[in-house]
Structures are given as C-alpha cells and as structure tokens.
Structure 1
Amino acid sequence: MIPGPRNLITDVPGLLVGSAQDSALKSGSTVLLGETPLTASVHVMGGAPGTRETDLLAPDKSVAKIDALVLSGGSSFGLDACSGVVDGLRAQGRGFALGPAIIPLVPGAILFDLLNGGDKSWQSNPYRALGRAAFDAVSEEFELGSHGAGTGALTAMLKGGLGSASFVLESGVTVGALVAANPMGSVTTPGARHFWAAPFEVDGEFGGLGPDPASGLGRHLDSRKMQAMRDLAAAGDLPTERGNTTIAIVATDADLTKAQCLRVATAAHDGIGRATVPAHSPGDGDLVFAASTGSRPLAQPEAELGHIGHVAALCLSRAIARAVFHATPEEKDLLPCWRPG
C-alpha cells in the first residue's frame, strides 16, 4: 500500500475538509464533510472527553448516517463550532428529513487550548462563526500544522497541530486520518527530534530522521507544556494534567456498518499509543471517530475489516507526527515548534 495522491484524509473519495482559525485567539475549528451522508461511530479512550451528539453513533442507536464531523479547539466553548456547521448544512438543505423539518446531524469533539497564550477575553462565543467559516472553506486540499482545530494545540514538549495522512490498499480501498494533536504526552523522544511514530514514516513525510537509536525510552516524562501553563496561570497547583486531548477522525470508502466503524475506531486508537507517550491518560480526552462513505463494497467484509483497522492506526500515527512537523511559530507561543522557522 502507498499514500494517496495528497496524503490527506480527502484521498478518500467523497470527503472534504475545511478549517478556520483566529491567530489572536490561538484557536480554531475543522470540519470533515461528506458529499453524501456518512456512516460513523466513535470510541473514547481518554478520561476527560468533550463531545457533542456522540451517543447517536452507537451501533444500537436508530440514526443511520450523519452529515459532518467537527474537531475544534476551545474546550466546551468549541462545541458550538458544530452549530456553525449545522447552519451551513441547513442553508444547503442538507440533513435528516422528518416531514418538512431538515435536521443536520453533526457530532463533534473538542480539545483544551484555553491556556496557550491566546486572547480568550471574548464577550460572545467565537466558535459558531469559526465552525461556519470552516464549513464554507471545505475542499479536497487543506493545510496542516497550525491551522483549524490544531491552531493552538500543544504537546508535552512542542507545539501540536492539525495532521492528516492516507493509504491506498492493494484492494483499492482508501483509508485516511485527520487529527488535532494536543496530548499530555510527547510525540518525540527525549531531545525532541525523533518522533515516536518514526517506524511508520513514509518517504520522509515528517523529517526522515528515523527512529531514536537510544533504548530504555519512556521512563522520564518531562513536560514543558505543564510548566508553561502553570506559569501563565500563575498557579502552581493548576491541574494542567486535565488540559489535553488528541481528537481524530479515520475514514474509508469501504462500505462499513456502524458496528464495523466502531471496530475501526477502536483499532485506530493504537495509532495514538504508538505516536504519543503517554497516551489515553485520565486527563486526556482521546477520541477517534470512524466514518465510511460506503462507496466500495468489500468482497470479504470480516477478513478485510481487521486490515482496515490496522491501516487506520498507521495513518493516525503518521498524521500525529505530521501535525507537529508542520506546526509554525506565532507570537506569544508557549512552546517551540519542531521546525523553528
């Protein structure tokens, strides 16, 4: 298998992504939109998630398809980005039809970026407008790094960001990942040069340095992020271990049921664990949506499902590293970028 032509989640035919951000706010929102409704599910492994309308994605719930998925900064305020996307869909007449009523279904998840040096003194919640702007910007092409939901993201040692990656399988099935990486853990080994995800890198897509040759890694969990947030808040007892999250979407054109999407979302969490140390902590809101456009029937669904989950995890690891690799410096940043300039 090889990356798709863009090495983005939009290599999955029928998917579009849009982002919007505010540099003064140091935050933003990202939307994944299907050209037609999507089958989707979700799996949460972090201890501190922030979500909207995720219950309807359970396989036993009656809703069969959704219209879009949202990743956003802003903590609970950022959930309102989904409302902006709902507004955009309603204006296009898209959504679940119930008689004359049209109800766009837009689940979403948020990350915590309220203590990242940005101006959070707004008088009215800005995230509805950011969600609508992201919806209006949807395209097959989109920027990685300090854009959209990844604008204000931070890892333990470096700026986080928005990342994406894809693979096309020998069968022709395409799998992609989209992530806003803001974990408590680090995405790089000590020294902040080698990515934990390096064994899965393709064609130097995040620097090409290869795996760290050192051994005994993972025993020391340093965090510039926690110290910088404590300094910013001027409170040494600030519970910064709760201000984190990696939120992601994995998607495919393989025709999957909601239950199969749940299995793919569950398997894709391996990608977070391979790219971030530690992952899935009590203070992270780690969450993965899985979505299917349903355009490519599978010849052997059960046999192929496990492989799709494995590939989703590979794409997600690569996307996390690419998010940090593409981050760019801005004024009042709390942490440095992997690439300083």
Structure 2
Amino acid sequence: MEQKNGSSFTGFILLGFSDRPQLELVLFVVLLIFYLFTLLGNTTIIALSHLDPHLQTPMYFSLSNLSFLDLCYTTSTVPQLLVHLRTADKSISFGGCVTQLFLLLGLGGTECILLGVMAFDRYAAVCRPLQYTVIMHPRLCALIASASWFIGFANSSLETVLIFLIPLCGRNKIDQFFCEVPPLLKPACVDTTVYESEIFFFSMIFLIIPVALITFSYGWIVRAVLRIKSASGQRKAFGTCGSHITVVSLFYGTAIYAYLQPSNNHSQDQGKFVSLFYTIVTPMVNPIIYTLRNKDMTGAMKKVLSRAHDSR
C-alpha cells in the first residue's frame, strides 16, 4: 500500500468489546477459564496420542494434529484479547495484524483440509477394514498432513497479500477483537467488491470441497453401517464417527456463517460472538467431545494416571 493509502500508520485499533465496558470483566474471566481448559484438553490429547502405543494409529495421528492446530489457533488470538479486555490500549501493530491474519487463515485452512481427511480415514476404517492399514499407511498420513499444512499456508499467504493491498486512507479502526478478513475490508476507502469476490472464492474452495468430501464419505459409511445386522455393531460403527461429525458441525457451521454469507446479513455484534465461538469455544469443546465419546482415549487417560499414581 502507498503511504497516503494508510501503510504509514504504525498499527490498528481493535475496538473489540470497548463499547460494552461492563461486559469486559465478565468476558475476561470466562475466556481465561475457557482458554486454560483449551490448553489442558488439547495438550492432553497430544500427550496421550504419543504416550499410548494403542493410540499410534492414523486416526489419532490426525487427531493430535487437529489438537495442535486448535492450540495454535486459539493462542494466536485469545492472549491478546485477554490483555485488551483489562487495559485501555486496544492497539495492534501493522506487522502484528498481518502475522495474526496469516496465522489464522493458514491454521483455519489446514484444519478444513484435515477434517476432510479424517472423514476419509473413518470411511476406510468402516467400509474397508481389511485394507485399512494399507490405505492409511503412516507415510501416506504424514504426506497428507504435510500437504494440508502447505496448502493451508500457501492460501493464507495469497489471501493476506490481497487483503493488505487494499488502500485504507488512514483508517485504522477495526470493529473486531482480532484481525479477521470481513472487518479488515470495512475501513477500505475503495470499492472492495472484487476483493470480496476473490476471498469468497477461496473460502468456497476451503469450506465447500472438504464438506463435499465429508458428506460423500459419511454417505458410504451410513450405507455400510445399515448393512450390519448386529445392533451393537451398528452402535460401535456410528460411535467411531460420532465425535468427528460433532466437531465438523461446530467448525464448519460457524465458519460458513462467518465467511460465506453477505456481511450485511448480520450485525457486527453477531459477528464478534460468532468469532468468539470458533476461536475459543470450539477448540475447547473438541477435546471434551473426543475424550468423553472415545473409549480408547479414556482408557489411555486412566492408564497414564494410574502409572503416575503408582510411581509416587
């Protein structure tokens, strides 16, 4: 951006919840508790996936990847938000805003791909159980994970450059608590229709294609499960996929609401609370969903705790 277009200022002002000062203390306490639970839950899943040999499978490799993504995602926004909620200074440097947007888009894009891959893993486990270890080979899993990270951050690089090419004409107030695409388009002093179309196109790719893959995978899974004559077998198969379906619904529901509808369809306050949901609530509940609904994970947790107790 040219200097006259706004790149000369040192940073942005994140308005966040400054228009509701009575709400800031309550939010600080609630978000701090949520953040600590997020750190504890996701770190536990990563640790258990590495400590228990029974969890060193493609499914739990993807799950530990997902937990690491959630840790990074929430840490890129929440600590800064907690500071802003307790101080009058709501600023973020220009470089800090660019870095935050780059990380959020990269991590979010990677998670979109990874959730799609996890659906294919569940399809292979339920519909091709005899060929599962051949299909989901450890090298293939590592390659897919690496490709997910690369594609997610390659897209993030492109989108971040596009966003910060938009002239702002000295406007540096963002009506959000972190640097996100829709609010960053608001202060622009030019028509952003072309930019919005480009961002919408990339969002469609990273949201709709994985959703289509997930839908296709679960269509075959349901078909296979309904052929199982045993009711206990059906429950076991659906239980294997239930946690993933719940996480997918939470993640894609809020992401589609935030990115794939016209910005004038909802108020900025709605946008802020939806953003709170997918930056802090979803990463916190994911470990709860996976541990409470998963016998392997709860069993591994009991074993680790019993070992720690016996070693005292």
TM-score (norm 1): 0.27
Query: Which structure would you say has the larger Rg?
Result: 2
TM-score (norm 2): 0.29
Greater RCO (CA < 8 Å, at least 6 residues apart): 2
Q: Which has the higher helix share?
A: 2
Q: Which has the higher strand share?
A: 1
